[in-house]
Amino acid sequence: MTLSLSPLKKLSKGASDRIGTLGLMDSDILAEDRMAGLMDTPLAARTKQKSLAGFNERGLMNTSMANEGAMGALLDSSFKIADADANRIGNLALGATEELGRNTRQEDQQTWQSGENTLDRSHRTSERLGAESFTGGQNALDRAWRTGERLGTETFTAGQNALDRSLTTTLQDDAQEHGVLMQDDAQAHGVTLQDDSQDFTGQQNELDRSATADLQDDSQLFTSGENALDRAATADNARENRDWQERQNLGAQTFQRETRDSQNQWQASQTQATRDFELMLAERGWDRADAKEIERLGQETYGSYTNAMGGLQASYTAAILKINQSDLPPDVKASQIDALNTLFGSNATWLTNTYKAMPNWDASWSTLSLEFGDSGALTGGQAAAEQSLSADWKAGGMSKETLINRANTAGISPTRLMTVLGFSEEQADAWLESTGTDLSDFSATFNTGAAAELSQGWADGTLEPQEILEIANLGGLSAWEVRHILGFSKAQADAWMDSVGIKEEDFFGANGAA
């Protein structure tokens, strides 16, 4: 391995000192040159002695093999040291070369940067001098332009001022001449205008007086006509009030007369019933205690019958509701409801006939019909409550609140109550209106939910006639109650039912009809 050390003179002092300590500053070095110096050293002698000792142990001390082995070991040891020195010197030389390159590049960079800086300063100086020269020229041009502008403006202003003064003088002269002429014309025109104004004012005053007279005449005629109309309207109102009062008095008299006749008829029937009852007791050999026992048995039987009929009615109502809530076609629903109505009627007839065959049924009905009068299909406690309520009402002095409370307690519907009180439909309407009674006041029997459904559906126009009938029957509402819910008069209700083919008896929900 050969290293050239001639470039080391360009190295830094520190790098040159490191290489100089090895004696390599002024000559080239080879590995074999280093070997010659290492063969005659204590280390080489030790290596040779150690190798010979090894051959001596094997009995080969004075053989050529021992000499060759010792020389090989000496060469191997010396070569390792020479190779290490050569590598170290090579690394030092390589580092010195790299440092030399860095120093050279740094010097070149500095030289280039210095040249660039010099060029920049020269360029900036040229730019500044050029800018100053351009700005100076522009400023000179601006000053010359402003001077010319100022001089031109002053010249123009002076000319305009002269023209203005001349125009003002001319206008003043013209105004003076025109003022004299206008003054003369105004004086002449003022006399004419004054005359015209006086003539116009006189004409307007005459027209105003004429219009005022006409308006006064028209006002008097209008007031006279209005007064006549007021007198006629007052007379008509008075006549209508008298007619209405007469109708009210007539209605009240008719109501009182019919009520009195009903009371008399009821009293007569009660008297006859009492006589018949006493006669029946005498014929059968019964006393009143026997009659009361029969009544008790009849009430028990009727209570059982009522419960059974109520269960049948509940089952019927649930079945109708289930059909209506189903997804079946409308014609299928109608067919099933018709079949269910037929079945319900058959079951009700069978149940009634079954109870009629029970002991005490005929006797209790016969006894109660004699004792309390004819109460239709009712027996037992409800019949007694109705008869008692009717008697107390006809006796007079019962308030509306007491009547409604007793009806609710006894489970009497509004329609049935009107029948119990002996009211015709017109009388029932008049009583509701005069007392301010609403059907919803009968909270125990009047179905407010069905009433609300009917009222809303009718107002929305979404209910068919058969749907109205179905809701009424499911809700236990009579035709009279439906009429009040829909806001019909009797004549309107009759006309509507005729037009849609519905009869009053089709409403079977309420226990009795007004």
Q: pLDDT, tens digit, for every residue of 53-74?
A: 887 888 777 787 877 787 788 7
Question: Residue 284 pLDDT more than 50?
Answer: yes
Which of 163-167, 208-212, 261-265 reaches the highest mean pLDDT? 163-167
What is the average per-residue pLDDT within 94-99?
77
> Bridge-partner residues for 3, per DSSP?
29
Q: For position 122, what pLDDT does the model report?
A: 87
Q: For position 113, what pLDDT does the model report?
A: 92
Question: Residue 460 pLDDT more than 70?
Answer: yes
Q: Which of 72, 65, 83 is nearest to 47 (CA)?
A: 72
Q: Is 90 inside any structural domain? A: yes
Q: Is 474:320 a contact under the CB 8 Å cutoff? A: yes
Residue range of the domain that includes 71: 6-128
| 61-75, 462-476, 489-503: least confident range | 61-75
Long-range contacts of 398-404, Cβ-Cβ distance < 8 Å, separation of 24 or more: 400/435, 400/437, 404/437, 404/441, 404/442
Q: Is 121 inside any structural domain? A: yes
pLDDT band at residue 480, thresholds of 50, 70 and 90? very high
Q: Is 84 inside any structural domain? A: yes
Q: Is 438 inside any structural domain? A: yes
Q: For position 142, what pLDDT does the model report?
A: 87
Q: Is 117 inside any structural domain? A: yes
pLDDT band at residue 376, thresholds of 50, 70 and 90? very low
What is the average per-residue pLDDT within 431-450?
88
Q: For position 108, what pLDDT does the model report?
A: 85
The CA distance from 78 to 242, in Å, is: 161
Q: For position 483, what pLDDT does the model report?
A: 92
pLDDT band at residue 17, thresholds of 50, 70 and 90? low
CA distance to 14, 16, 88, 405, per residue, from 95 (Å): 12, 11, 11, 126
Cβ-based burial of 206 (10 A; exposed 0-12, middle 13-18, buried ≥19): exposed
Quick one: angle between helices 288-324 and 380-395, nearest 10?
A: 100
Q: What are 236-265's pLDDT values in tens digits?
A: 777 766 765 665 566 556 656 655 665 566
pLDDT band at residue 144, thresholds of 50, 70 and 90? confident
Q: For position 245, what pLDDT does the model report?
A: 63
> Side chain identity at 378, as an amino acid letter?
L
Question: Residue 23 pLDDT more than 70?
Answer: no
Q: Is 342 inside any structural domain? A: no
Q: Regarding predicted confidence, which is higher, 289 or 360?
A: 289
Q: Is 398 inside any structural domain? A: no
Q: Is 232 inside any structural domain? A: no
What is the average per-residue pLDDT within 302-308?
76
Q: For position 374, what pLDDT does the model report?
A: 36
Question: Residue 6 pLDDT more than 50?
Answer: no
CA distance to 396, 470, 504, per residue, from 403 (Å): 11, 30, 26
Q: Regarding predicted confidence, which is higher, 114 or 90?
A: 114
Q: Is 298:379 a contact under the CB 8 Å cutoff? A: yes
| 119-123, 129-133, 186-190: least confident range | 186-190
Q: Regarding predicted confidence, which is higher, 295 or 451?
A: 451
pLDDT band at residue 379, thresholds of 50, 70 and 90? very low
Tell me the percentage of the chain whose pLDDT exceeds 90.
Answer: 9
The two three-digit tokens of residue 270, written as one number = 């009660």
Q: 77, 109, 128: which is the final residue of a domain?
A: 128
- How many CA within 13 A on the CB side of residue 408? 14
Mean pLDDT across the chain: 77
The two three-digit tokens of residue 79, written as one number = 């070569």
Q: Regarding predicted confidence, which is higher, 134 or 193?
A: 134
What is the average per-residue pLDDT within 135-142?
89
Question: Residue 203 pLDDT more than 50?
Answer: yes
Q: 109, 128, 147: which is the final residue of a domain?
A: 128
Q: What are 333-374's pLDDT values in tens digits?
A: 888 888 888 887 788 778 877 877 776 665 444 333 333 333
**What's the structural domain count of the chain?**
2
SS3 state at 87: helix
Helix (H) or strand (E) holding 415: helix 414-420
Q: For position 274, what pLDDT does the model report?
A: 67
Q: Is 417:478 a contact under the CB 8 Å cutoff? A: no
| 167-176, 293-302, 360-369: least confident range | 360-369
Residue 37 CA, chain-centre distance (Å), reads: 108
Which ranges of 21-63 does DSSP label H, i.e. alpha helix? 31-38, 42-57
Question: Residue 377 pLDDT more than 70?
Answer: no
Which of 20-24, 112-116, 367-371 reaches the highest mean pLDDT? 112-116
Q: 106, 128, 150: which is the final residue of a domain?
A: 128
The CA distance from 383 to 368, in Å, is: 9
The two three-digit tokens of residue 53, written as one number = 């000792």
